[in-house]
Amino acid sequence: MRQHTTSFEPVREWSTYPPVEETIRSESSLGWLRRIAPIVMTHRWRIIWSVIAAIIAMLAQILVPRVVGLAVDRALIERTSALSFFVIILLILGVARASATFGYRYGLYGMAFKVEYQLRTLLFQHLGRLSFSFFDRVQSGQIISRANSDIRSVQMFMAFAPIMAVQFFSFVIAIGLMAAISVPLTAVTMIALPGVFAIGQRLRKIMFPLSWVVQSRQAEIATVVDESVNGVRVVKAFAAERQQIEALARGAERLRWANLVQHRTRASHTPLIENLPRIALATVLLVGGLQTIDGALTVGDLISFNLYILLLQAPFRFIGMLLILGQRAKASAERIYEILDEPPGVDDRPGAIDLIPSSGSISFSAVKFAYGTETVGGTPGAESPRTVLDDFNLEVPAGQTIAIVGRTGSGKSTIARLLMRFYELQAGVITLDGHDITSLTQRSLRGAISLVPDEPFLFSTSVHENIAYGNPGATSEEVEAAARAAQAHEFILGLDDGYKTIVGERGYDLSGGQRQRISLARLFLQDSQVIILDDSTSAIDVEIEERIHHALKDLLKARTTIVIAHRLSTIALADRVILIDDGRVVADGTHQQLLEREPRYVETLASTVEEDQPWS
């Protein structure tokens, strides 16, 4: 038997990557930019020097028209200055603008990608804290979409918005320089601004709901694809490929419609925003040309003025793009916040302590639980789902192996999920080693329990890494010993690369029995005081199962074990059998005792055990 430590030491090696310390603001009434500000402001110095570089680039650009105008007047017409002097100034301005442009683009794009990394990491960390109830009701495609395309939309806005803001700042300075040349011409230039503003406001109001619809329908398509890939065996078994294609086509048609409306809206508004200033340009050419003929303006001043108008068109072109990016980012951010605002459901309570495993005694006292009763956003569910466990009581002494037997839907697997605190109870108390599990940290609680589920999950990595998932630091010899105990060593050696073989998606290139044996090998490699076997050998043939049980008997010594049983051979591992029905314990004793005195036990076995398998 292992030596117990005096403090909690997790088997798993924790990542050296630091967690994201900053998070979004919790006040949902704030605007999306104010909510994300704490994350953005972690890069304040990068933003500051990037904006300074952008201003330098903008100033260099704005000075070019004025220098060109002076060159025309003084070097070409009046011939009072050398043309080479103005050429040198333009070269200096060009180098300054190129260097500053590189600086601010490098800084702002780097900031945007860092925010994307932080936001994605923050979202993934929060997903890891959410209870099973969240994943029971939210489609995986929705989560994948928000973790990818929605975060990318926010990242694009973060990269381009500051650049566009500087462009609008250049607009203000350019207007000032134009006014210094000619106030009347500047007033003519401003004629188009009210129309541009009105169209921009209308575009902004339309684009937000459209962007939300587009992002939502992209998530619907992601869900269809995800389900079609993960359920490909069911799809092919029912020859339902056309049905899935039709489902994807319906989703694509809905997305196409939303995209067309979005782009039609953009196509009907953006040309007006971009071309209204050109009306002002034509007017300026007319009025300015007449003033030049009359001598009120010099040729250089008119050239400078027209160059400034051309510069002003860039901010007008960016208005439509900025509005679209902004509304799309706002819609995406709101979808991301929906997940980040989701309460964990199961969380460590203030003052939670680490469990230091000593014996492994377990107690269920007046436990009541029903799926789907968790609140969503603080609002209780409207339905009253069927109670799975009701006044459930069970005592499991330390070191004892019990088998839990019951009909399908009687709550057998729920017992394991509640013990590991995957869900919160509606009533009652569960204790481990005398500690209420709600007073323990989840990490230490789950570190003290090894679970082998009835549907083993394998990651798309090597067999070695799958076995060592709960103990990444395990040596090859330890992994091989665990595989031998789980009767998996021989078939693993028969794979193309042995323990280095990369298993396919969810391990589906292996048989069900092979996946279960790899899952059992994980169990043998861990050193947990409490073990839960949830029908973990259901896909393994009898001969191999017998050898696994022989190895399990050695492992289970001095450990508390809960066996969720369907096979009689698995029930034989138990010192004690618990029969549950309607969410309660209805019988408790040895297998032979229950056979002799409990008809419901016999009926349950008859409904779950092969007819040719003996009962004693």
Q: How confident is the model at residue 616 (pLDDT cuts 50, 70, 90)?
A: very low
Q: How confident is the model at residue 99 (pLDDT cuts 50, 70, 90)?
A: very high
The set of residues, in sequence order, having a beta carbon less than 8 Å from that of 540 and lying 6+ positions away, is 487, 513, 516, 517, 548
Burial class (CB in 10 A: 0-12, 13-18, 19+), 324: buried
> Rounded distance, CA 422 to CA 416, Å?
9
Fold of 32-340: ABC transporter transmembrane region fold (1.20.1560)
Q: What is the pLDDT of residue 317?
A: 62
**What are the C-alpha distances in Å from 57 to residues 51, 72, 99, 172?**
10, 23, 8, 15
**Averaged over 263-275, what is the pLDDT?**
74
The strand ranges marked E within 444-508 are 449-452
- Predicted confidence band at 538 (pLDDT cuts at 50, 70, 90)? low
**58 or 284: which carries more pLDDT confidence?**
58
Residue 379 in contact with residue 579, Cβ under 8 Å? no
80-89, 119-128, 297-306: segment of lowest average pLDDT: 297-306
- Strand pairing category for 449-452 and 401-405: unpaired
- Looking at residue 376, what is its pLDDT? 36
* Average pLDDT along the chain: 79
DSSP conformational letter for 440:
B
Q: Which residues contact 321 (CB under 8 A, 6 or more apart)?
A: 160, 164
pLDDT at 91: 93
The whole-number pLDDT of residue 102 equals: 92
How confident is the model at residue 352, as a pLDDT? 85
pLDDT digits 0-9 by tens, 427-478: 899 999 888 998 888 888 888 888 887 777 888 788 888 888 878 888 888 8
Q: Yes or no: say if 190 and 176 are a contact pair by the CB < 8 Å rule.
A: no
The bridge status of strand 427-432 relative to strand 401-405 is unpaired
| H and E: helices and strands count for the chain | 21, 10
Work out the pLDDT band at 329, boundaries 50, 70, 90: confident
Q: Who wins on pLDDT, 124 or 566?
A: 124
Asked if the model's pLDDT at residue 540 lies above 70, the reply is no
The whole-angstrom separation of Cα 43 and Cα 108 is 10
Q: What is the pLDDT of residue 505?
A: 67
* CB distance 36 to 340 below 8 Å: no
Residue extents of the structural domains in the chain: 32-340
What tens digit of pLDDT does each residue of 377-419 get? 344 444 456 788 888 999 999 888 888 988 877 888 888 889 9
* Dihedral (Cα; 92, 96, 98, 102), 10-degree rounding: 160
pLDDT (0 to 100) of residue 381: 44
pLDDT at 293 over 90: no
Indicate the SS3 state at residue 613. coil
Positions of E strands within 264-396: 362-369, 389-396
Average confidence (pLDDT) over 275-298: 75
Say whether 402 sits in a helix, a strand or coil: strand
- What mean pLDDT is predicted for residues 42-64? 87
* Residue 234 pLDDT class (50, 70, 90 cuts): low
3-state secondary structure at position 599: helix
Q: Give the pair of three-digit tokens for residue 204.
A: 């902004």
Instruction: Answer yes or no: is pLDDT of 27 > 50.
Output: yes
Contact 427, 135 (CB under 8 A): no
- The Cα 431–Cα 279 span in angstroms is 78
